[in-house]
Amino acid sequence: MAQRAKKIYLASECDEAAEPAALRSFTQPWLDLNEKVVLVTGGTGSFGKHFVRTVIDQYKPRRLIIFSRDELKQYEMQQIFPMDQHPFMRYFIGDVRDRDRLEMAMRDVDYVIHAAALKQVPTAEYNPFECIRTNVFGAENVVSAALRRNVRKVIALSTDKAANPVNLYGASKLAADKIFVAANNLAGADGTRFSVVRYGNVFGSRGSVVPFFQKLAQGGAGELPITDPRMTRFWITLTQGVNFVLSSMEMSRGGEIFVPKIPSTTITGLASLIGPALGQKVVGIRPGEKLHETMIPADDAHWTVELDDRFVILASFAAAAREAYLNRGAKAVSEGFAYSSDTNPEKLNAQGLQLLLKEAFA
């Protein structure tokens, strides 16, 4: 089911004469979840709730399982998606640190979306053992449970911070990415397929700078805190993120890291849009924070191919997968290629940012 592409302005920042280009929907190829059993770890988060809404709107699954450790968030989610209206919904209390509970929850499951993680950089720095137990050991547990239950496909959500990591959160997610890629070696030719999606900042998600800026602007603040005026970031909406996960899962052969083609902008441009009348105060980069985001380091260029709407970092052992992608129209990127927010050719001007904000909070 293809969605009509919306128009958004992509150009050098502040170029108001930019020609409109399509805001990618990432709906193709389409994954059929009708009569399938789907499990989402960390399903009460921003991604999980949007994923559930998408599945309810577009599919008729046999079961849709929310796996998370917070009973209050599950209760609140049940008020939004009550089981009497959506009888295929299931709510499992559990932690990805608990392999046995994961294995129980994955009984007869076809697809797993692994979204559970400790994601706050300062929290991970202060609580390193907890970060490792959830993000690394949790990834291992998801792999083990999926293999034991013969799940068809697993796709894990990663982060730009896993590329050349400078903080523990990024390092733990890099380790998790490696675990999911290498898990295909354990599955055999006909076993579970494991892949990863990696994208940047999500407009409106919990912990995003967008609602933080909005709260300050609406609360009467006189200025917005800017870490560094040179700072750039990639941006994606929750709708795009969910569609990207679904289409990547359909496309996956095992061992890929999928990276969407999405626009970037400076943090000052974002602040000016949200609070045009507010001043901007430079507060400095926080520990563990990068000036620019990188989603594909130059060291990975050798294994990366490019499609119309995404890049695919292939596993070094996946020679057959590389040929398959090239046969479907992918092309190898140039030597030394890197995908970074400061050199990204697709930058949002003010009109593009406004449209993206409208899309994110529609």
CATH number where 193 lies: 3.40.50.720
pLDDT above 90 covers a percentage of the chain that reads 64
pLDDT value, residue 129:
97
Q: Is residue 310 part of a domain?
A: no
State which of 8-17, 22-31, 137-146, 317-326 shows the largest mean pLDDT.
137-146
- 349/11: higher pLDDT: 349
pLDDT greater than 70 at residue 19: no
Active site residues: 161
pLDDT above 70 covers a percentage of the chain that reads 92
DSSP letter for each residue of 81-144: S-TTT-TTEEEEE--TT-HHHHHHHTTT-SEEEE------HHHHHH-HHHHHIIIIIHHHHHHH
pTM metric for this prediction: 0.90
pLDDT greater than 60 at residue 90: yes
pLDDT greater than 60 at residue 2: no
Secondary structure (3-state) at 200 = coil
pLDDT greater than 70 at residue 362: no
Q: What is the mean pLDDT of residues 69-75?
A: 95
Q: Is residue 186 part of a domain?
A: yes
Residues sharing a CB contact under 8 Å with residue 359, sequence separation 6 or more, in sequence order: 6, 8, 23, 203, 237, 239
Residues sharing a CB contact under 8 Å with residue 170, sequence separation 6 or more, in sequence order: 159, 161, 162, 163, 288
pLDDT greater than 80 at residue 198: yes
Confidence of residue 354 (pLDDT cuts 50, 70, 90): confident
pLDDT value, residue 277:
81
Q: Is residue 160 part of a domain?
A: yes
Residues sharing a CB contact under 8 Å with residue 50, sequence separation 6 or more, in sequence order: 238, 239, 241, 242
Report the C-alpha gap between 250 and 124 in whole angstroms: 32
DSSP letter for each residue of 3-49: -PPEEEEBSSTT-TTPPEEEE-----SPP--TT-EEEEETTTSHHHH
Length of the chain: 362
Written as one letter, the residue type at 20 is P
Q: What is the mean pLDDT of residues 306-314?
A: 96
Q: What is the mean pLDDT of residues 321-333?
A: 92
Question: Which of 235, 237, 261, 263 lies closest to 248 in space, CA to CA?
Answer: 261
Q: Is residue 207 part of a domain?
A: no
Q: Which of 134-138, 148-152, 356-360 has the lowest mean pLDDT?
A: 356-360
Residues sharing a CB contact under 8 Å with residue 131, sequence separation 6 or more, in sequence order: 118, 123, 124, 168, 169, 172
pLDDT greater than 50 at residue 15: no
The predicted-structure confidence for 277-297, as pLDDT tens digits, reads as follows 888 888 888 777 888 999 999
Confidence of residue 27 (pLDDT cuts 50, 70, 90): very high
pLDDT value, residue 102:
98
**What b/e string do you get for 286-299 counting C-beta neighbours within 10 Å, with b at 16 or more?**
eebebebbbbbebe
Are 192 and 252 a contacting pair, CB within 8 Å?
no
Confidence of residue 108 (pLDDT cuts 50, 70, 90): very high
Report the C-alpha gap between 158 and 156 in whole angstroms: 6
The predicted-structure confidence for 148-181, as pLDDT tens digits, reads as follows 999 999 999 999 999 999 999 999 999 999 999 9
Written as one letter, the residue type at 72 is L
What values do phi and psi take at 310, rounded to 5? -160, 165
Confidence of residue 7 (pLDDT cuts 50, 70, 90): very low
pLDDT value, residue 109:
98
Q: Is residue 357 part of a domain?
A: no
- 201/252: higher pLDDT: 252
- Strand bridging mode 89-93 / 111-114: unpaired
Q: Is residue 352 part of a domain?
A: no
Residue keyed to tokens 């985001």: 293
The predicted-structure confidence for 234-272, as pLDDT tens digits, reads as follows 988 899 999 999 999 999 999 999 999 998 888 888 888
User: Measuring CA to CA, how many Å separate 112 from each of 48, 52, 155, 191?
Assistant: 12, 13, 6, 14
pLDDT greater than 50 at residue 337: yes
Q: Is residue 187 part of a domain?
A: yes
pLDDT value, residue 135:
98
Residues sharing a CB contact under 8 Å with residue 204, sequence separation 6 or more, in sequence order: 46, 210, 211, 237, 238, 360, 361
The predicted-structure confidence for 48-63, as pLDDT tens digits, reads as follows 999 999 999 999 999 9
The predicted-structure confidence for 210-244, as pLDDT tens digits, reads as follows 778 888 888 878 888 888 889 998 988 899 999 99
And the tokens for 348?
Answer: 């949002």
Question: Which of 172, 163, 104, 91 lies closest to 134 in space, CA to CA?
Answer: 172
Q: What is the mean pLDDT of residues 312-323?
A: 87
Number of domains in the chain: 1
DSSP letter for 272, please.
Answer: H
What values do phi and psi take at 58, rounded to 5? -115, -10
If one counts every other C-beta atom within 10 angstroms of the C-beta of residue 157, the result is 24
Q: Is residue 179 part of a domain?
A: yes
Domain that holds residue 96: 31-198
Confidence of residue 4 (pLDDT cuts 50, 70, 90): very low
